[in-house]
Structure 1
């Protein structure tokens, strides 16, 4: 398993939060470089098991030679289906480290990074049909505006969407450099920050990251044994809000805590362990700048 592939974020905090039982069954929804998985395996005895999901075929190179691990090369949104397929009804803990691995950012031809030229791809699962280029060519102006505004918090999302729709009639943008050149007239503020926000929005949309997260969260209550824990690391405010709301109330809508006239049903399936999210220490953020926006939330099956 490769530390260079991806440095595991909030490593100790996450493993401690899972309260790993040596003979338990655990799921790593986002295997990646296998950093968190290695930590779980170190605490399991010969009867323990780890099921590792990752839709990115590159992650397979990091699977350890260990008969306690089962690798599932699919999106974690299908977690229940594949656990049932392997005759697993409930597990002792689930971990999801969301976002993109360092490896994906560092390989130019995957199209995730503004630092390299390469195809406008951005698919984590390269079996799926829609690339970033296809999305940019086919989405309506309103869909593009919503995507850039919601997922990238791009300040001039409306102008950007209109510009892309106008330009795509005559200009081609099959590569990252072509797309960056196309965006040059509408970039506001720091170009690198602006492009990073645009690319983040595209990546989230191409991979339906919010939809996959919702699907996974809704399956949790049926997959966790009583007392089992789930730990989710997010890197985006929307992801964090979805996790927070689901852990608290079993739905994704915001609720008004301070309104005395609104009665809320208490969600009894999960008990929130982290009242506030756990964030990296200053030392970790300095050592691994990509960890800065990470937030860990933990819940326990009631």
Structure 2
């Protein structure tokens, strides 16, 4: 393993490979989409285990793509890399003449690469610029949101995307602070949040800035809007007996995935119909009920995996 890969610990790696194995092992050819290739850990494991697959690696972060290209250079003839947001999956596949895939993997949330690079501004525990862009070619930054949005919009974003009950206080104090100077640092935002939350609530253990930083990051990157679009689109790309895995790291993402999976794994038969017609039968099944989480060993080894929820579906009919 190369020096710049030491800290990259792919979340639930063995489980992801095991879940995709039934969809890949008995095919002479198969296409797999890694919709969030990141530093390439999951992709590497799949390419090593299944020498017959072609992998399409997508990421909106050019820095991550550069590192995954380097890591996966030995598989270069079997990979297509795309700097894109994952809601472009159907367009990318169509452009390659691909009409269906055997597997799709989503590893949502912020990558270790992004968290550990202070200049990206994702961490609330270190001094950094207010950036938070996953794709640095985009123009909207956290500083834009905090300095330009109205108090009403800031309250809504922090309340809805951060599930923060003190959203109104935080937004009010952001407006007050920016009235004297432009907000530019993550440390200042963290201090504003801390001062906005009553002391008893701050004693609950988690960093008081976590929810607000999550909310601003989601707004900057339009994460939930994109996820709502892509899950149904990606589902439509799955071939018969193909599988799709989604790992989410917070409840808002998981709810979107859970609902989308429920919609395609339930019969469409009208209530009261005595028999189920073929066209009403579900075209997908849940690979397991509910969601799975990492075991204690993985959480100890990789604390950032603690909040992950993994869900999987399989196409059982066309």
Same fold? TM cut 0.5: yes
Give the Cα separation in 2 of the matches to 1:92 and 1:132.
Answer: 37
Counterpart CA distance in 1 for 2:186 and 2:16 is 35
Which residue, 246, 249, 274 being the options, matches 2:260? 246
Match of 1:147 in 2: 157
Residue 194 of structure 1 is aligned with which of 205, 208, 217?
208
Match of 1:193, SS state, is coil
Q: CA deviation at 1:84?
A: 1.1
Q: Displacement of 1:126 after TM fit?
A: 0.7
CA RMSD of aligned residues (A): 2.3
Residue number in structure 2 paired with 1:208: 222
Partner residue of 1:28 out of 7, 28, 34 = 34
Describe the shift of the 1:296–1:266 C-alpha distance in structure 2 as closer, same or farther (beyond 3 A): farther
- Spell out, residue by residue over 1:134-166, the C-alpha distance to the aligned partner (whole angstroms, 9 max, x if none): 011222222211221222222311111122123
User: Who is 2:189 aligned against?
Assistant: 179
Following the alignment from structure 2 to structure 1, what is the Cα–Cα distance between the partners of residues 217 and 53?
A: 35
Q: Which has the larger radius of gyration?
A: 2
Give the number of the structure whose residues are more often helix, by fraction.
2
Separation of aligned partners in 1, 2:282 and 2:195: 52
Work out which of the residue numbers 230, 242, 245 in structure 2 matches 1:231: 245
TM-score (norm 2): 0.85
CA shift for structure 1 position 223: 0.7
How has the CA–CA distance of structure 1 residues 209 and 6 changed in structure 2, closer, same or farther, with 3 Å as cutoff? farther
Structure 2 residue aligned with 1:161: 171
The structural deviation recorded for 1:180 is 3.0
Asked if the contact 1:233/1:297 (under 8 Å) is kept, the reply is yes
Q: What is the aligned partner in structure 1 of residue 232 from structure 2?
A: 218
Distance 1:135 1:200 in 2: 13
Paired positions, count: 291
Alignment partners' CA distance in 1, 2:283 and 2:15: 23
Q: Distance in 2 between matches of 1:91 and 1:128?
A: 29
2:61 aligned to 48, 56, 59, which one? 56
Shift of 1:44: 2.1
User: Which digits, 9 at most, give the CA deviation of each residue in 1:70-128, with x for residues without a partner?
Assistant: 11111111111111111211100000010111111111000000232221000000111
Q: Does 1:44 align with 2:58?
A: no
Q: 1:139 to 1:224 in 2, by over 3 A?
A: same
Change (3 A) 1:266 1:163: farther
Structure 2 unaligned blocks of 5 or more: 273-278
User: What's the CA shift for 1:170?
Assistant: 2.1
Contact 1:29 1:94 (C-alpha < 8 Å) held by counterparts: yes
> Contact (CA 8 Å) 1:232, 1:297: kept in 2 or not?
yes
Unaligned runs of at least 5 residues, structure 1: none
1:15 maps to 17
Runs of 4+ that moved beyond 6 A: none
